[in-house]
Chain A
Amino acid sequence: MTSANIKILIRFLLLIPLQVLIANHMRLFGYINPQICLLFALWYPLKKDISGFLVTSFLFGLIIDMFSNSGGVNAAACLLIAYARLPILKFVFNDRDLNLKLFKYSNYGTVPKIVLIFCLALIHQLTIYALEYFSFSHILSILYKTFTNSLFTTFVVIIFLSIFTSTKKQ
C-alpha cells in the first residue's frame, strides 16, 4: 500500500461517519443537508486511469445508502460525479492540457473552485433527488431542493477545502 492509498482509505473511513452522523442530521430549514461526501471525489488524486476511482466512489456511495436506507441513490450520484470530475475540472479551470501530477487546488483562484464545487454539487444533488422522488410530477420540488442544497453544500465544502488543503507553494 502506498501512502496515497492509505490517505484515500483514511478519507473513506472518516468522511462516511462525518456525512451520516453529523451532516445528515443538520436539516437546515427542515431538509438542507450539506453533502460533505463531495470532498471524497475532490481530494481523490487525479489519474488518467479512473477505474479504481469509479469502484471506490461506488462503494463509498453504497455505504452511505446503507446508513440512510435509500436503495442505490447515493451510489449512483457518487459514481456520476467520479466520472464527470475530470471533464468538469478541465472545463472550469479552462485548461485543456491539465498536468494531472502537479495539480493542486491552491494553484487556482477561489472563484473557479466555487464554480467547480457548485457544478459537482448540482449533478450530485440532482441525481439524488431525481432518483429519490422517482416521478416527473415532483419536478419543481426536485429542482428547488437541488438548487438550495447545492448552494449550501458549496459553502460548506469550500470551507473544508480551504482549511484542509495545504497552501505550501512548490
Chain B
Amino acid sequence: MQFILYLIQKHRTFLLFFVLELIALFFTIQFHSYQKSKFINSANGITGGLYNSVTSFRSYLYLEDENTLLAKENSELRNKLSEQISIPVSFKDSINGKFQQKFQYAPAKIINNDFHKNNNFITLNRGKKDSILPDMAVINAKGIIGITANTSKNYTSAISVLNTNFKVNARLKKANYFGTLTWNGKSHQEVQLIDIPRQASLKVGDTIVTGGRSAIFPEGVLIGSVSSIQYQNNRYEKINVNLFNDVRNVTNVYIVRNLQKEEIKQLESKNND
C-alpha cells in the first residue's frame, strides 16, 4: 500500500496530465459522435456575450451592404406578394383558409462565423428566450446557411453548411430528383451533391434547391448552381454545387421553425415501431 502511495506521489504530475488529457479527449470524442456538445459550445452567456458586443461594434462597417441586400429582398418579396393577388379568388381562399401555416420565420444576426475548419459553426444572437430550439433551419435571402444545434437563454450555435457533418435533402429546381447535400471540407464556395439518381439529366448551371423531405428546411430554399459534374460507370460520381451565399460574409439571417415538425416526427416514429 505504502509503495502504491509512493508511486502516486512520485508520478503525480504525470497522472494529473494523463487525467486532464483523458477529459479533453472525452470531450473531443463526444463532440465527434454527437455534434451537440452540452457544455463546450459558443451558445453560453460568456462566449455569446463577448461575440455579441464585438459584432454590434463591427456591424456598423457593413451597414450599407446589408441595407442594399435587405432592400433587394424586400423588392423580391413585394413581387411575390403581387403574384399572389393575381391568383383567382376561389383558389386564394383555399390557400389562406383551409391550409395551416407551416413555417414561421424569425430574424437573427450572426455574431460569430467560422469557415476555416473542417467542422464549422455559427453563433446567433437569438436563444430560448425567443423560442429557438435545436434543429431549426437558418437561411437568408440567397439560400441556406445552417441548422441550429445548441441554444442557451440568449444565444444559439448552429451547424454551418460548411461542416462535414451537415446533411440536407436537396433537389433539382427543374425536376423532382432528390439527393443529399454534403460538404467535403475543401472549398468554402463549393458543396457536394450525392445520391442523385442516374436518370436525372443534369447540366452545369442548373439550380439546386432544398427538397421538402426534411422536417427542417422548407421546400425550395435556394442552395446553389451546379459547377462541375463527374459522371462515371453510368452514374453520377460527384456533383459540385457553387453556393449562392458567400457564407463568409453573411450577417442577417432568418431562423425557420417548422410548426408541424412534431406531428411529422410522431407519425414517422409510429411507422418505425
Contacts and interface: CB of A to CB of B under 8 A. Distances in A.
Interface of A: 17, 20-21, 24, 27, 30-31, 33, 49-51, 54-55, 58, 61-62, 65-73, 75-76, 79-80, 83, 131-134
A83 B46 CA distance: 28
Contacts of A68: 42, 114, 117, 121
Given A70-B31, A71-B30, 15 more contacts: A21-B54, A24-B114, A30-B188, A54-B13, A58-B24, A66-B40, A66-B42, A67-B51, A67-B112, A69-B114, A70-B117, A71-B31, A75-B20, A132-B119, A134-B28
B25 interface: yes
A73 B114 CA distance: 16
A27 B114 CA distance: 10
Contact of B17 (A21, A65, A83): A83
Contacts of A133: 118
Contact of A58 (B20, B41, B119): B20
Given A65-B40, A79-B20, A72 B50 contact: no
Interface of B: 12-13, 16-17, 20-21, 23-32, 37, 39-42, 44, 46-47, 50-51, 54, 112, 114-119, 121, 123, 157, 188
Contacts of A75: 20, 23-24, 27
Nearest to B23: A72
Contacts of A21: 50-51, 54
Contact of B40 (A31, A49, A71, A79): A71
26 contacts: A27-B116, A31-B116, A31-B117, A33-B116, A49-B13, A54-B13, A58-B24, A62-B24, A62-B27, A65-B40, A66-B46, A67-B47, A68-B114, A69-B40, A69-B119, A71-B27, A72-B24, A72-B26, A75-B23, A76-B24, A76-B28, A79-B20, A79-B21, A132-B117, A132-B118, A134-B28
Interface centre among A17, A21, A69, by most chain B C-beta atoms within 10 angstroms, is A69
A32 to B, nearest CB: 8
Contacts, number: 102
Contact of A131 (B16, B28, B41, B157): B28
A57 to B, nearest CB: 9
Contact of B47 (A31, A55, A66, A76): A66
B141 to A, nearest CB: 24
A13 B147 CA distance: 31
Contacts of A132: 117-119
A31 to B, nearest CB: 4
A41 B252 CA distance: 38
Nearest to B188: A30
Given A67-B47, A69-B121, A54 B20 contact: yes
Contacts of A30: 116, 188
Contacts of B50: 17, 20-21, 67
Contact of A71 (B21, B37, B123): B37
Contact of B16 (A27, A54, A65, A70): A54
Contacts of B23: 58, 72, 75
Given A30-B188, A71-B40, A134 B32 contact: yes
Nearest to B32: A134
Shortest Cβ-Cβ A-B pairs, 10 listed: A71-B31, A72-B27, A76-B24, A69-B121, A72-B24, A75-B24, A71-B28, A72-B28, A31-B116, A58-B20
Contacts of B119: 69-70, 132
Contacts of A54: 13, 16-17, 20
Contact of B157 (A33, A69, A76, A79): A69
A126 to B, nearest CB: 14
